[in-house]
Amino acid sequence: MGLVSSLRRTVDGGLSTVWECRNCGETLSEDAAECPRCGAEDVARYEI
């Protein structure tokens, strides 16, 4: 799920969870153990 989809759900009234690489900001899947772009293992989780 991309960031735009997450934001669209929020605008429509539902909460979404976004996983993002803390190093480069890449949007990740829920089960990602590391970022495919930069290889970092530090994943942030946001409820929006």
**Domain range summary for the chain, segments of one domain joined by +:** 3-47
Element (H, E) at 3: helix 3-11
pTM, two decimal places: 0.65
Tell me: pLDDT of 1 over 60.
no
- Average pLDDT rounded to a whole number, residues 25-41: 96
What rounded mean pLDDT belongs to the chain?
87
Given a contact cutoff of 8 angstroms between Cβ atoms, the answer to whether 26 and 38 are in contact is yes
Distances (CA, A) of 35 to 1, 18, 24, 40, 45: 15, 14, 9, 5, 13
Specify the amino acid at residue 23.
N
Residue 13 has pLDDT above 70, yes or no: no
| Token digits of residue 21 | 């690489």
- Is the model more confident about 15 or about 29? 29
Taking residues 37-41, what's their average pLDDT?
97
Measured CA to CA, the distance from residue 24 to residue 27 in angstroms comes to 9
